[in-house]
Amino acid sequence: MSKVTCLEVKGLSKWFGGLAANSDIDFSINEGEIVSIIGPNGAGKSTLFNCITGFYKPSSGNVTFYGRDITRLGADKICKIGIARTFQIVQVISDMTVLENVTTGALLRFQRIRPAMNKAEEILNFTGLNEKKDFLATELTIADKKRLEVSMALATQPRLLMLDESMAGLNKVELQQIIDLIKKIREKGMTLIVVEHVMEAVMKISDRVVVLNSGKKIMDGSPKEVVSNPEVIQAYLGEKYRAVAK
C-alpha cells in the first residue's frame, strides 16, 4: 500500500444551530486504501461525507486532498479535482439512458461527445452494465441503479471514490457483486472511502475502519481491532451486530 497521503481531515467540526453533528474529527487516508466509516445512526457519517465533498461547509477544521486545501471548495470543484461520490438515495438522471448518464460524467474530462461516450462504454464494460446501456435509467433495478451511479462517478476519473451506503437494500447476490466491484476498482489504483452499515461487507473490504459516534471519532484501526473494541461495541449496543473477527 502506498504511503502517499490522499486525504487528510483535521479538526473537522460542523454545527447545525446548537447541535454538533461533527466534532473535531481527525483522520487521514493513504492512496490505495479502502477505509470504511461506520457508526450508529445519527453518528454524523453523512455530515462528514457532505463536509468532505463540498455539500456542506465545515464550521471549523480543514480537509486536504493530496496536500491541497479543499475545505471551502464547492461540490462541483471537488469533483473536478478528483473526488467522486455516490448518494445514500440513489441519484441518476431519469430521462437519460444508462449510456447517456455515464457520458454526462465522462464529459467532465472531455469537450466532445464522441470521446466521452467511448469512455462511458469502457466504464460500463468495467462495471458490467454494458448490456443495459440503452435502458432508460428509470427502468433499472435498485442494484443496477447503484451500479450506474458508481459508473457515473468513475466516469469523472476520480482519484478518490466515496460511496455512501451503497449496500443498503441489496440481497446477498447483489451484495457480493458490489463487493467484487469495489475490489476491482481498488485494483485500478483507486482510493475508496465507504460509509456502511452492512458489517459483513465492511469486514470483507476494509483496510481500515473509522468509527463515529455522536459526532466524534471514537476509533480508527483495522477491522479486527475495531470489532473487538469495547467502546465501539457499546456504541452499537442494541443494534444487530454479528460480524465476528475471523
Angle formed by the axes of helices 142-155 and 172-187, to 10°?
10
Exposed / middle / buried, residue 192 (Cβ in 10 Å: 0-12, 13-18, 19+): buried
CB of 108 to other proteins, least distance (A): 4
15 binds other proteins per the rule CB under 8 A: no
CA distance to 46, 78, 117, 204, per residue, from 223 (Å):
21, 29, 39, 9
Nearest approach in angstroms of CB 76 to other proteins is 5
Q: Indicate whether 79 belongs to the interface with other proteins (CB under 8 A).
A: yes
CB of 2 to other proteins, least distance (A): 25
To other proteins, the closest distance from the beta carbon of 127 in angstroms equals 16
Cell numbers representing residue 82 in the block: 478528483
Give least dist CB 176 to other proteins, A.
Answer: 26
Listed ranges 101-109, 169-177, 190-198, 201-209: which one lies at the site for other proteins (CB under 8 A): 101-109
Minimum distance of other proteins from residue 113's CB (angstroms): 5
Q: Does 55 bind other proteins (CB under 8 A)?
A: yes
Name the DSSP class of 91.
-
Q: How many CA atoms lie within 13 A of 187 on its CB side?
A: 7
The one among 22, 36, 47, 53 contacting other proteins by CB under 8 A: 53
Residue whose C-alpha is closest to residue 164's, from 64, 77, 52 = 52
User: Smallest Cα–Cα separation from 214: which of 58, 48, 11, 39?
Assistant: 39
Query: Which amino acid appears at position 57 of this protein?
Result: K
Q: How far is the CB of 71 from other proteins (least distance, A)?
A: 17
Q: Please tell me whether residue 104 adopts helix, strand or coil conformation.
A: helix
Instruction: Render the burial of 3-16: b for 16+ CB within 10 Å, e for the rest.
Output: eeebbbbeebbbee
Select the span of 18-26, 58-66, 71-79, 166-174 touching other proteins (CB under 8 A).
71-79
**Piece of 37-45, 107-115, 140-148, 188-196 that binds other proteins (CB under 8 A):** 107-115
Cα separation, 151 vs 246, in Å, equals 32
**Of the residues 94, 176, 222, 228, which one makes contact with other proteins according to CB under 8 A:** 94
User: Binding to other proteins by residue 3, rule CB under 8 A?
Assistant: no
> Judged by CB under 8 A, does residue 143 bind other proteins?
no
208 with 222: CB under 8 angstroms? Answer: yes
107 is an interface residue for other proteins by CB under 8 A: yes
Where along the sequence are the contacts to other proteins (CB under 8 A)? 53-55, 74-76, 79-80, 84-85, 87, 91-96, 100, 103-105, 107-108, 110-114, 116-117, 134, 152-153, 155-156
